[in-house]
C-alpha cells in the first residue's frame, strides 16, 4: 500500500502507531505528548488509542525523562522519549552521554538499552532562543550512541520504526521545518537500511552532501546549477553516526569535488568529519578542496536574522562556483 502526500509529522505518527501496535514493550514518554499530541502533533491520537500507560505525559524534567527511560530499558521495555525542542535536550545531556551511551559497554555487552530520543531540531520556523538549534555533533561525538535524521516523510516513517527496533540507543533528530511539506510514503517495505546514506540525485561534476532540512536546499541548488550547466550529485546522509561513507566516496571519486552543507555551526562538526574523511580517502581524486556550507560559529540569532544565519541555495551555489573554479 502507498500512503500518498502525507507530511513528515503524519508519517512519524504512523510509524509510532505501527511500532506501538507491533510490540507491547514499546511506550512513548514526553512533555505534552498525550491529549495534546505534542507541540508539533506528532503523537496526536496515540494516547487515546493505546492508553496513558503506553503514551505517558511526563513532568517538565528532561533529565528525569531520560533517566526513567534508561530504567525501563533495563527492565525490557523500548521507551521512545520526546524532547520538546532541540535546546531543551541539554538538561538531559548528562543522562544521555554519561549513562545511556556507556551502560552497555560498562556491562561488557550483556545489557541492551533500546532507547530512542526524538529531537525536533533546526531553524526556519522563526522561533526564540533554545528552539532552533542543531546539536547533533555533540551526540555523534559520543561513542555508544546512534544518531540519525530523516529528510522525507518516507524516511521518517521507516527510520523511526527501525530506530525503535534497534537494541542500541538512538538519538533521532527530526528537522522541524520539514514536518509539514508532504511526500509519498511506501509502506510495503523499507528500501534503505537505517544507517545508510543515499544518492537522491545523480550528477557528474560535483558531489553535494547533507542531512535533514538541508536536503531540500541542496536539491534546489542542484536544479539551479543544472540550468546553468553544472551537473551535481546530491547525497542524503540520513545517518550521522555511524556515517555510511561508501556512496560518498564513490561519488567523489567520480565527480572530483565535494561540498558538505549543514545548519549547525561548522567548527568541529559533522561536516568537518566528512571533509576530513573524504580528503583522506579520496585525495588523488579531488580536483578542488572540500568545501563546507554551514551555520555561523555563533549562537543561533533572533528569529528575524535566521535567514542570514542559515545556509540556503544561494550560499550553496556560491560554494559551487568556488569549487568549479579550480
In tens, the pLDDT along 250-302 reads: 999 999 999 999 999 999 999 999 999 999 999 999 999 999 999 999 999 98
pLDDT score at 189: 77
Cα separations in angstroms, 294 against 5, 199, 267, 311: 30, 21, 9, 6
pLDDT score at 226: 97
pLDDT score at 124: 83
In tens, the pLDDT along 185-223 reads: 988 877 789 999 999 999 999 999 999 999 999 999 999
Residues 6+ apart with CB under 8 A from 27: 20, 53, 54, 55, 56, 72, 77, 78, 79, 80
Mean pLDDT of 122-130: 83
- On the CB side of 66, how many CA atoms lie within 13 Å of its CA? 24
Going by pLDDT thresholds of 50, 70 and 90, the confidence category of residue 88 is very high
pLDDT score at 55: 98
Question: Considering only CA atoms, which of 257, 4, 212, 235 is closest in space to residue 120?
Answer: 212
The C-alpha cell of 28 is what? 512513548
Residues 6+ apart with CB under 8 A from 299: 129
pLDDT score at 13: 98
Q: Which residues are catalytic?
A: 131
Dihedral in degrees, nearest 10, Cα atoms 71, 75, 76, 81:
-20
- Put the strands of the sheet holding 198-201 in their side by side order: 198-201, 232-236, 206-210, 258-265, 291-295
* Angle, alpha carbons 43-68-90 (nearest 5°): 75
pLDDT score at 1: 60
Cα separations in angstroms, 63 against 26, 47, 170, 232: 20, 23, 16, 43
CB atoms within 10 A of CB 104: 17
**Structure pTM?**
0.96
In tens, the pLDDT along 22-47 reads: 999 999 999 999 999 999 999 999 99
Going by pLDDT thresholds of 50, 70 and 90, the confidence category of residue 320 is very high
Alpha carbon 79 to chain centroid, angstroms: 19
Full set of structural domains in the chain with CATH: 2-186 (3.40.50.970), 198-324 (3.40.50.920)
Average pLDDT score over the chain: 95
Q: Is the pLDDT confidence value at 130 over 90?
A: no
In tens, the pLDDT along 141-177 reads: 999 999 999 999 999 999 999 999 999 999 999 999 9
Amino acid at each position: 500500500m502507498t500512503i500518498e502526500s502525507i507530511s513528515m509529522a503524519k508519517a512519524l505518527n504512523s510509524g509510532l502507531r505501527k511500532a506501538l501496535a507491533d510490540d507491547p514493550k514499546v511506550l512513548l514518554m514526553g512533555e505534552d505528548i498525550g491529549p495534546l499530541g505534542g507541540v508539533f502533533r506528532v503523537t496526536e491520537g496515540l494516547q487515546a488509542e493505546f492508553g496513558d500507560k503506553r503514551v505517558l505525559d511526563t513532568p517538565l524534567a528532561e533529565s528525569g525523562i531520560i533517566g526513567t527511560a534508561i530504567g525501563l530499558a533495563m527492565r525490557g521495555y523500548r521507551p521512545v522519549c520526546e524532547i520538546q525542542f532541540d535546546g531543551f535536550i541539554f538538561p538531559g545531556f548528562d543522562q544521555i552521554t554519561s549513562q545511556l551511551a556507556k551502560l552497555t559497554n560498562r556491562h561488557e555487552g550483556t545489557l541492551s538499552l533500546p532507547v530512542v530520543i526524538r529531537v525536533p531540531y533546526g531553524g526556519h520556523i522563526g522561533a526564540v532562543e533554545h528552539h532552533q538549534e542543531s546539536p547533533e555533533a555533540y551526540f555523534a561525538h559520543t561513542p555508544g550512541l546512534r544518531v540519525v535524521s530523516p529528510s522525507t516523510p518516507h524516511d521518517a516513517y521507516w527510520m523511526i520504526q527501525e530506530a525503535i527496533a534497534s537494541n542500541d540507543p538512538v538519538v533521532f533528530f527530526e528537522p522541524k521545518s520539514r514536518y509539514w511539506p508532504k511526500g509519498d510514503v511506501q509502506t510495503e517495505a523499507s528500501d534503505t537500511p537505517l544507517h545508510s546514506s543515499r544518492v537522491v540525485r545523480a550528477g557528474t561534476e560535483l558531489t553535494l552532501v547533507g542531512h535533514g532540512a538541508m536536503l531540500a536546499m541542496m536539491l534546489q541548488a542542484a536544479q539551479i546549477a543544472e540550468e546553468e550547466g553544472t551537473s551535481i550529485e546530491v547525497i542524503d546522509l540520513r545517518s550521522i553516526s555511524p556515517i555510511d561513507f561508501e556512496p560518498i566516496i564513490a561519488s567523489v571519486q567520480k565527480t572530483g569535488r565535494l561540498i558538505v552543507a549543514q545548519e549547525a555551526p561548522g567548527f568541529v562538526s559533522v561536516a568537518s568529519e566528512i571533509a576530513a574523511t573524504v580528503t583522506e580517502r579520496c585525495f588523488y581524486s579531488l580536483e578542488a578542496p572540500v568545501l563546507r556550507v554551514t551555520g555561523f560559529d555563533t549562537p543561533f540569532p533572533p528569529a528575524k536574522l535566521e535567514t542570514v544565519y542559515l545556509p540556503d541555495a544561494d550560499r550553496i551555489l556560491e560554494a559551487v562556483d568556488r569549487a568549479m573554479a579550480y
